[in-house]
Amino acid sequence: MGKPKSRGNGQGTAYKRKGQTTWTAEVVVGWRLPKDDAKPPIPIKKTRGGFVYKKDALKYCDELLKDKPTKKKISLQGVYEEWEEKYAPRIVKSTMAGYKSAYMHFSNLHQSMIDTITAQDLQDCMDACTAGKRTHQQMKVVAGLLWGYAFDCKYVDRKITDNLYTGKGKSTPWEPIDDQEVEIIRQAIGKEQYADYVYALCYLGFRPGEFLALKKSDLHTENGITYLQGGSKTEAGIGRKVPVPQAIIGIIRNRLNVVGTDYLFPHYTTNRKGEFTGYKKMRDQYCRESVFKPMMARLGIAEGKVPYGARHTYSDKLKDAVGDDKTKAAIFGHTDYEFTKKRYQSTNLEEIKAVGDSIK
Name which residue leads in pLDDT, 231 or 101.
101
Q: Whole-model pTM? A: 0.53
Q: Count the neighbouring beta carbons within 10 Å of the beta carbon of residue 166.
A: 17
**Cα gap 60→49, rounded to integer Å:** 10
What is the helix, strand, coil percentage profile of the chain, to 5?
A: 45, 15, 40
**Cα gap 78→84, rounded to integer Å:** 10
H/E stretch holding 315 reads helix 309-320
Give how far Cα 31 sits from Cα of 45, 82, 150, 155, Å. Answer: 9, 21, 12, 11
Q: Which residues sit opposite 24 in a β-bridge?
A: 15
**Cα gap 317→338, rounded to integer Å:** 13
Q: Are 76-152 and 179-358 in the same CATH fold?
A: no
Q: Which residues sit opposite 189 in a β-bridge?
A: 192
**Cα gap 95→230, rounded to integer Å:** 16
| DSSP secondary structure string for all residues of 203-216 | TT---HHHHHH-BG
Single out the residue of 358, 267, 348 nearest to residue 321, CA to CA: 358
Question: Which pLDDT belongs to residue 33?
Answer: 59
Question: Which pLDDT belongs to residue 252?
Answer: 93
Question: Which pLDDT belongs to residue 70?
Answer: 56
Domain 179-358, CATH number (from 2.70.170.10, 1.10.443.10, 1.20.1250.20, 3.40.50.1110): 1.10.443.10
CA angle 179, 289, 130 (to 5 degrees): 110
Taking the domains of the chain in order of start, what are their residue ranges?
A: 5-65, 76-152, 179-358
Name which residue leads in pLDDT, 30 or 1.
30
Q: Which residues sit opposite 279 in a β-bridge?
A: 268
Instruction: Tell the CATH topology of 76-152.
Output: DNA polymerase; domain 1 (1.10.150)
Residue 321 has pLDDT above 90, yes or no: no
pLDDT tens for 150-201 read 888 888 888 888 888 887 654 455 678 888 899 999 999 999 999 999 999 9
Single out the residue of 257, 255, 252, 279 nearest to residue 266, CA to CA: 279
Give how far Cα 267 sits from Cα of 243, 249, 278, 279, Å. Answer: 24, 20, 8, 6
What is the Cβ-side half-sphere exposure of residue 38, based on CA atoms within 13 angstroms?
Answer: 0
Q: What share of the chain in percent tops pLDDT 70?
A: 79
* Residue 283, Cβ density class (10 Å: 0-12 exposed, 13-18 middle, ≥19 buried): middle
Q: What share of the chain in percent tops pLDDT 90?
A: 30
**Cα gap 315→243, rounded to integer Å:** 14
**Cα gap 245→252, rounded to integer Å:** 10
